[in-house]
Amino acid sequence: MNVSNRSYSLGYLALAVLVMLALQYYVASLTIDTLAYSEFKTLLKAGKLRDITLGESSIAGMLDTAGLDQVLSAERAKALQHGAAGGARQFATVRIADAGLVTDLDAAHVRYAGQPDSRWLGTLLSWVAPALMVFVLWLVLARRMGGTMSGLTEIGKSKARVYLQKQTGVTFADVAGIDEARAELMEVVDFLRTPERYQRLGGKIPKGVLLLGAPGTGKTLLARAVAGEAGVPFFSMSGSEFVELFVGVGAARVRDLFAQAEQNAPCIIFIDELDALGKTRSLNLAGGQDEREQTLNQLLVEMDGFDPNKGVILMAATNRPEILDAALLRPGRFDRHVVLDRPDLKGREQILRVHVRKVRLAAAVDLHALAARTPGFAGADLANLVNEATLLAARHHKDMVDMEAFDQALDRIIGGLEKRNRIMIPLERQTVAYHEAGHTLVAEHRKHADPVARVSIIPRGIAGLGYTQQTPAEDRYLLRRSELLDRIDVLLGGRMAEQIVFGDVSTGAENDLQRATDMARQMITQYGMSQSLGLPCYERAPGPFLPGGAASARGEREYSEWTARAIDDEIRVTLAQAAERVRQTLLAERARLDGLATLLLEKEVLDRAALDAFLHTDATQPAAEPVLS
């Protein structure tokens, strides 16, 4: 803490002490009356005084206020009687040399006692002790506000964490699976390294780079890699850290952040979770005085004011770009938008190789197979998968992380925590076994369905009683109508298996029916795959990023009631036709259905090798034991 801040704080402390002393004297003056010595003598002879304390320079005691108008003047008596509690009040008078004082006290039969003055003790108790309490309270509040005694004066300072190249510890070698985004940001790194090459031709580097992507796709990691690769200071701050209780603090922190960045140029400013700060102002119902809006206005001003040729690059990340203010996204502010999509099969394998660098892997671990079994996983999900497998291997006292540990970790992530202690009656276990067997057999008999990698009837999570995991052979970006119909068939396989075997259905197919219905509705209303309704698109698919995205995707219905009924009828027809196809398949494979359900009840979990061994057996042989009781 510097000298000016210390003087500023001590000034506030001195002011607080003076106010406290003034209040103390004011309160004391309201409860203690000061008498003239002549009044003291008169009241003593009249028997109005009691409990006298004789000090070296003062006399104090209690004064009976009843009948004072008979001893003193009416005005003085009224003044002494005002505010008296219980007909008595304290008094004090200055003691003068009076040799007959003790004789007068004895004659008035007043109880008195001597007490030496203790000025230093009274001063300590009335001044110093309260002052210390105020000082301690000041320290506590100052540390809560800013970490030091000068915290209140530094509340507008930026809280950005500054990292140097060696402190970020991340380079492009640690980033995998997002090659296109990495190549896009190499230009920023090249400018920070050799800015003269661009300035020589009169080019201007983009002022701001906005990283867009779903949670866990590596936005923050990529920004730190840019700073580590360029070897420049990296100012990192979250959007929520700009906004505080006090109005104007956020704008002050923005100004201070850009001032620090210009002093340390070339450097990178990174604002994580930009949507916490840059939410569109059209959604603000609080008016122009909202603290978040003032902070956003200041950010826009600073972005217009700083010169990118000085080497200050502003980067930000968000997974909700559809709610950002349009002024942030215009050219001249965040000029470049870098979208980080979920990695494909090759990218997932590369990410897994990055995360297993420090893991002791068994030789049989197939990272390509793991990547194929994790479609839709982001970088953070894959990192979690490797960590879970490592923890499971250590829990079972293994020397290396093997494929079994990865299988168990993947089951735990997808299906939830294993619930082996959940008690299920035999009929429920049989129902789950036939349900999962139905999914599996239908998937094996559909040309366009993804092959089954693992089947389990072990309860997991909150409500999951079993699951059938399919592994796509390759990443798909377009799906044909025949492929979608095959997927609907697989979803209905469990429900139809229950109906065929038990003659009844259970609630276990709720999620399957919901997914099948959604898929059929999309085929009819979005993809133009309806035989009766034709090509019109009746519903808009939600856009993932930027203007016109999820915020405007779900509007009012733009078709008539007749069309709505036709859509409902078409959905029912599509699902009914799929159910009949599945029913015919399972009836033809009834022997395999019984055998697979029996095997599941015995083993509980079947991998691809066990499924292949079962499917290549003679289907005409009956099950070893009847499943139904």
pLDDT single digits (tens) 575-586 = 999 999 999 999
% residues pLDDT > 90 (the chain)? 17
pLDDT digits (tens, 9 = 90+) for 86-97: 677 788 888 888
Average pLDDT for 425-444:
91
Of 8, 6, 60, 9, the closest CA to residue 35 belongs to 60
CATH 1.10.8.60 placement within the chain = 345-415
Burial class of 228 by CB neighbour count within 10 A (0 to 12, 13 to 18, 19+): buried
The per-residue pLDDT for 341 is: 84
In this structure, what token pair is assigned to residue 144? 């809560």
Q: In what order do the strands lie in the sheet with 267-272?
A: 161-163, 234-238, 267-272, 312-318, 208-213, 336-340
User: In whole angstroms, what is the distance from residue 372 CA to residue 360 CA?
Assistant: 21
Q: Give me the half-sphere count of Cα atoms (radius 13 Å) on the Cβ side of residue 600.
A: 30
**String of DSSP letters for 439-469:** HHHHHHT-TTSPPEEEEE-S-BTTTB--EEE
Mean pLDDT is lowest, of 19-23, 191-195, 276-280, 424-428, for 19-23
Average pLDDT for 26-33:
53
CATH 1.20.58.760 placement within the chain = 426-615
Angle of CA points 86, 77, 42, to nearest 5°: 100
> What is the CATH topology of the domain spanning 3-122?
3.30.720
pLDDT grade for 551, boundaries at 50, 70 and 90: very low
**String of DSSP letters for 259-289:** HHHHHT-SEEEEEESGGGT-B-GGG--S-TT
**Using an 8 Å Cβ cutoff, are 534 and 528 in contact?**
yes
CATH 3.30.720.210 placement within the chain = 3-122
- Computed over every residue of the chain, the mean pLDDT equals 78
Identity of the amino acid at 455: V
Which DSSP helix (H) or strand (E) runs through 411?
helix 403-415
Separation in Å, CA 211 to CA 175, 214, 302, 317, 564: 14, 10, 20, 5, 40
pLDDT digits (tens, 9 = 90+) for 454-479: 898 888 765 578 888 888 877 777 88
Q: Give me the half-sphere count of Cα atoms (radius 13 Å) on the Cβ side of residue 510.
A: 6
Concerning whether 404 is annotated as a catalytic residue, the answer is no
Annotated active-site residue in 229, 241, 388, 436: 436
Does the 426-615 domain belong in CATH 1.20.58.760? Answer: yes
In this structure, what token pair is assigned to residue 544? 């993932």
Average pLDDT for 217-223:
84
Q: Is pLDDT above 70 for 123?
A: no
Q: Is pLDDT above 70 for 627?
A: no
pLDDT digits (tens, 9 = 90+) for 299-334: 888 887 766 667 788 889 888 888 888 888 888 888
Q: Is pLDDT above 70 for 543?
A: no
Most confident of 15-29, 218-232, 359-373, 532-546: 359-373
Average pLDDT for 532-560:
64
Radius of gyration for the alpha carbons in the chain, expressed in angstroms and rounded: 41
Q: Is pLDDT above 50 for 437?
A: yes
Does the global pTM surpass 0.85?
Answer: no
Would you state the CATH architecture of domain 161-340? 3-Layer(aba) Sandwich (3.40)
pLDDT digits (tens, 9 = 90+) for 330-377: 888 888 888 888 888 888 888 999 899 889 998 888 898 888 888 888
Angle of CA points 58, 59, 62, to nearest 5°: 145
Would you state the CATH architecture of domain 345-415? Orthogonal Bundle (1.10)
User: In whole angstroms, what is the distance from residue 149 CA to residue 140 CA?
Assistant: 9
Name the residue with higher pLDDT: 597 or 276: 597
Average pLDDT for 149-177:
60
